[in-house]
Amino acid sequence: MSGGFVIGTTSVPPVLAANEPSIENDGWFPAVDPALFRKQNRLRDVVTFERLREAVLSAMIEINLALEGYRAAQILAGCEALADVPSRLLGGESRNVILYRRAISASAKADLVEHYRDMDTTGAGQRQVGELDISVGELRRDALHAVRDLLGQTRTNVELI
């Protein structure tokens, strides 16, 4: 039997990404561009916009809550948006916005991988579920590190027993 078929793909069809609207945030924190999110996270086309949107909204709730005190302090200081908070520019973009986007990205991808394990496996199913659990843990860690970096906190907590 001869014939060809493709199992899985890591590219996002341009039509899919181009038609997806921005995922709006609360007005102070930046919106998320689904096309950029897909590219940065190498999401397969099996992740529907609805799934992606739900994961990003969940990440926004989680990360925005973690940064609520920071946000309140910055608003009192006169900053009308995260991009207005004084910080260094990297690649022409605010360091704070980059860290926020990283936190949202890691948290949302962890949610997607956790709930839709098939999206992060190869077509041949070569990755084991245990490897995905490590991946989810690493993504959650990356989100926490991005939030701590944004807050200017250390990444390690040490307690004496």
Q: Is 1 contained in some domain?
A: no
Domain count, the chain: 1
Tell me how far CA of residue 83 lies from CA of 62, 71, 96, 105, in angstroms. 19, 11, 7, 17
| Residue 138 included in any domain | yes
Domain-located, residue 64? yes
Instruction: Kindly state whether residue 7 falls inside one of the protein's structural domains.
Output: no
- Can you say how many angstroms the Cα of residue 45 is from the centroid of all Cα atoms in its chain? 17
Rounded CA-CA distance 12/22 in Å is: 16
Q: Is this prediction's pTM over 0.85?
A: no
pLDDT at position 23 over 90: yes
Tell me the mean pLDDT in the region 5-20: 53
Confirm whether 34 is domain-assigned: yes
Whether 157 is in a domain gets the answer no
pLDDT digits (tens, 9 = 90+) for 74-122: 999 999 999 999 999 999 999 999 999 999 999 999 999 887 665 445 5
In a domain, 160, yes or no: no
Task: With respect to residue 72, please indicate whether it lies within any of the assigned structural domains.
Answer: yes
> Which pLDDT band holds residue 136 (cuts at 50, 70, 90)?
confident
Could you tell me the residue range of the domain that residue 94 belongs to?
A: 22-151
